[in-house]
Amino acid sequence: MTKKKIVVSGIRSTGPLHVGHYFGALKSWIELQEKYECYFFVADWHALTTDFKDPSQIKTYLLDNVSDWLALGVDPKKAALFIQSSVPEHAELYLALSMITPLGWLERNPTYKDQKEALKHKDLSNLGFLGYPVLQAADIALYQGELVPVGEDQVPHLELSREIIRRFNHLYGETLVEPQPILSASPRVLGSDGRKMSNSYQNAVLLSDPEEVVTKKVMTYMTDPARKRRQDPGDPKKCPLYSLHELFTEEKTLKEVDLGCRTAKIGCVDCKKTLLQRLTPWHQSYTEKRKALNPKTVQKVLDEGQKKASAVAQKTMTEVKKALKIL
Ligand code: TRP
Ligand code: SF4
C-alpha cells in the first residue's frame, strides 16, 4: 500500500462563513479528504496578525466555523480538525524558521504589499503580519505537508513557504518536506453589490442566514445594470447574480439562463427564482445538519484532532531541534 500524501490547509476565523468560503475552500477540502491524509485547522494565530486590536471575534467564530465545516461535510474520521494555537509547536517552529528567513523576502512578498494597502484602516506595521508567510511555512512543515490547496491569490504565499523550507534544508540537511500547491478552482464569487463576496463588504450570503433572509438577499442581488427594463438584453458576465448560478446550476440550465438573459427571453426575477430552486435545498440541508450539532460534539472533534496533530508536530519539532543542535 502506498502511503497517502499529506495535505495541510487552514482558514482564519475572523467572521461567519459564507457561500464564498464554501466554494473557495471547503468544497475542495471535502474532496481532498477522500484521497489524502488531511490536516485542517483554524488559523487563529493568523487571524490575530490582522485582528490583534480586537481579538474577540476570533474566539466567537472559532467553534461556529468548525461547526459549519462539519455541517458542510468535512469529516473528522477522514481529516484531523484542530485549532492552530492548540498545538504549540506551530509557534515553536515559526520561531525557528524566523531565524533563517531574510527580511527582504517578506518585504517583497506581493501579498504583503497588497493586503497592507487593502487594509489601510488597520495598523499592520507589526512583526506578526510581516511574518505571516513564515507561520504558514511552519503550519505546513510541521505535518510534513506535501500538498497545499491554494487559490490563485495565495500562490505567492506558498512560494515563500517553499523557499523558507528549502533554505532550512539547505542549511541543516534534509529535515522538512517542501510542499507543492494544488491549484483549487478559485471561482469568482461576487456579493450582492457586485464586489468580491466578503464579510467586510457586508455583501455576503451567510451560511447562518435564515432561509427567508437568503431569499431576500437573492431577490435584491445586483444584476447586469444594462437590464433596466424587462425587454433589455443583458450579459451574464456582467451580472453578480450569475456568479452564483455558475456555482449552483447544472450545465444545461446554465446555458438556458445565459441565452435567455442575452436575448431578454427571461427576466431577472425568473432568473433569480431558478437560482433559488437550487440554492435553497442546498442551504436547507446544511441548516438541518448544522442545527443537529452541539458544541460538545464539536469540542470532542477538536480534542481528537489536536491529539493526532500534536503527535506528528512533536515528532517534527524533535527533528528540527536536532538539526539546529538545540536538543
Ligand atoms: N493564509 C490562509 C488564509 O488566509 C490560512 C492559512 C494559514 C493556511 N496557514 C496555512 C492555508 C497553511 C494553507 C496552509 O486563509
Ligand atoms: Fe443576471 Fe439573470 Fe438578470 Fe441576466 S437575467 S442580468 S444573468 S439576473
Q: Any idea what the CATH number is for the domain that residue 184 is in?
A: 3.40.50.620
Whole-number pLDDT of residue 5? 98
The predicted-structure confidence for 62-81, as pLDDT tens digits, reads as follows 999 999 999 999 999 999 99
In this structure, are 311 and 276 located in the same domain? Answer: no
- Give the CATH number, domain containing residue 281: 1.10.240.10
In this structure, are 52 and 151 located in the same domain? Answer: yes
Percent helix / strand / coil, the chain, rounded to 5: 60, 10, 30
> Which ligand number lies closest to the CA of residue 43?
1
In this structure, are 264 and 162 located in the same domain? Answer: no
Any domain includes 146 = yes
The predicted-structure confidence for 146-176, as pLDDT tens digits, reads as follows 999 988 778 888 999 999 999 999 999 999 9
Any domain includes 194 = no
What's the mean pLDDT in 262-285?
A: 98
Report the separation in Å between the CA atom of 233 and the middle of ligand 1, taken as the mean of its atom positions: 42
Whole-model pTM: value is: 0.94
Residue to probe by mutation, ligand 1, list 13, 81, 154, 159, most atoms within 8 Å of CB: 154
Any domain includes 96 = yes
| Mutual angle of helices 268-291 and 211-219, in 10-degree steps | 160
Pairing of strands 37-42, 6-11: parallel
Give the CB-side neighbour count of residue 75, counting CA atoms within 13 A. Answer: 11
What's the mean pLDDT in 259-265?
A: 98
Any domain includes 1 = no
In this structure, are 128 and 260 located in the same domain? Answer: no
Whole-number pLDDT of residue 86? 98
Whole-number pLDDT of residue 124? 86
In this structure, are 66 and 140 located in the same domain? Answer: yes
Report the separation in Å between the CA atom of 158 and the middle of ligand 1, taken as the mean of its atom positions: 9
Any domain includes 57 = yes
In this structure, are 174 and 86 located in the same domain? Answer: yes
Any domain includes 204 = no
Percent of the chain with pLDDT over 90: 85
Percent of the chain with pLDDT over 70: 100
The count of domains in the chain is 2
The β-bridge partners of 41 are: 10, 82
Any domain includes 202 = no
CA-nearest of 66, 95, 117, 6 to 296 is 66
Tally DSSP H helices, then E strands, for the chain: 15, 5
The predicted-structure confidence for 34-69, as pLDDT tens digits, reads as follows 999 999 999 999 999 988 988 888 888 999 999 999
CB 257 within 8 Å of CB 266:
yes
Any domain includes 193 = no
Pairwise CA distance, residues 17 & 29, whole Å? 15
Could you tell me if the CB of 227 is within 6 A of ligand 2?
yes
Residue 293 C-alpha cell reads as 450539532
Whole-number pLDDT of residue 236? 97
**Under 8 Å CB-to-CB from 109, ≥6 apart: which residues?**
133, 156, 157, 160
Looking at every residue in the chain, the average pLDDT score rounds to 95
In this structure, are 233 and 248 located in the same domain? Answer: yes
Whole-number pLDDT of residue 255? 97
In this structure, are 30 and 153 located in the same domain? Answer: yes
In this structure, are 259 and 284 located in the same domain? Answer: yes
What's the mean pLDDT in 198-208?
A: 95
Residue 14: domain span? 6-188+295-324
Predicted confidence band at 1 (pLDDT cuts at 50, 70, 90)? low
In this structure, are 15 and 115 located in the same domain? Answer: yes
In this structure, are 283 and 306 located in the same domain? Answer: no
In this structure, are 102 and 173 located in the same domain? Answer: yes
Whole-number pLDDT of residue 327? 84
